[in-house]
Structure 1
Amino acid sequence: MSFQPLTYSLLVNGSVYGSQSARHAYRFACALIEKGHTLVSVFFYQDGVYNASNLTLPANDEFDLHKAWKTIATQHNVRLESCVAASLRRGIVDNHEATTHQLLASNVSQEFELAGLGGLAEAMLTQNRVVQF
């Protein structure tokens, strides 16, 4: 029996802090990459959109989950997509939305992009597995 790598996308509904689901998703992402599978994208939805904010500042002795997501994105070419509607409702704004809505600043890290639910639907149609956290 030969190993056949699979493609994955993750759906993260839990906040960057205050819930374990985002941390579990990150650990799962690392494990599947280590096993030789491909992580194509991570879609952050509901309170999961807080993972995209570059204004999170964990204590020095805490794991920096936001930074970890950015690292996995750059090292493994993983798309990090934050639901645009859920993001805007929670004050998670990229440069484009800040300009459009005449806001003073944005707070989305460059490794993340605001995306519609179409990104999640595409992942469900094109990846071998979509796992929700």
Structure 2
Amino acid sequence: MKFGILINEGPYQHQAPDSAYQFTKAALEKGHEIFRVFFYHDGVNNATRLAVPPQDDRNITTQWQALAKEYNLDLVVCIAAAQRRGLLDENEAKRNSKDADNIAEGFRISGLGQLIEAGIQSDRLVVFGD
């Protein structure tokens, strides 16, 4: 089965990102395909490279990065939600006259069309968070 994953909640404030990660990992290990993981609303905060959780806590950003690298996942961050929350890639930082970017490696910023495509191309779109 081919899944699209939608994450609407940020790390460390809601169980949704952890549940989405565990679901995605389990699905891949069982041989299913993940068409795309789309981060929307506060879920875009999963893609920041500047979060520094305590050493005895999990780092959800690096977990997503490792899973994406292992399985060649497409991790897409909604551009509008990201900009509202101060999450920028290099191009968006330049375009908006900001002096730095903060998106983690392995994530990319794009529009809602990527979410629509994931819903169309996948057998199921699984939503985590409100």
Q: Same fold (TM over 0.5)?
A: yes
TM-score category by the smaller chain?
over 0.9
Task: Please state how far the C-alpha of 1:40 moved relative to its aligned partner.
Answer: 2.0
Q: Does 1:115 align with 2:115?
A: no
Once the two structures are TM-superposed, the CA of residue 110 in structure 1 deviates from its matched residue by 2.3
- Cα offset, 1:128, TM superposition: 1.0
Q: Which amino acid aligns with 1:73?
A: A
TM-superposition CA deviations, 1:71-100 (whole Å, max 9, x none): 111110110000000000000010000011
Runs of 4+ in 1 over 4 A off after TM superposition: none
CA contact (8 A) 2:78 2:111 kept: yes
Cα shift at 1:102: 1.1
Aligned length: 128
1:69 aligned to 2:64? yes
2:29 corresponds in structure 1 to 34
AA of the residue aligned to 2:107: F
- CA deviation after TM superposition for structure 1 residue 132, in Å: 0.1
Alignment pair present for 1:15 and 2:10: yes
Identity of aligned residues (%): 38
Query: Matched residue of 1:63: which SS?
Result: coil
Structure 2, unmatched stretches of 5+, are none
Deviations 1:20-61 (A, max 9, x none): 100000000011011110112100000000001001111000
Q: Which amino acid aligns with 1:121?
A: I
CA contact (8 A) 1:40 1:77 kept: no
In structure 1, what is the Cα distance between the partners aligned to 2:124 and 2:112?
A: 17
TM-score normalized with structure 2 length: 0.96
Q: Is the 8 A contact 2:61 2:104 kept in 1?
A: no
Q: List runs of 5+ in structure 1 lacking aligned partners.
A: 1-5
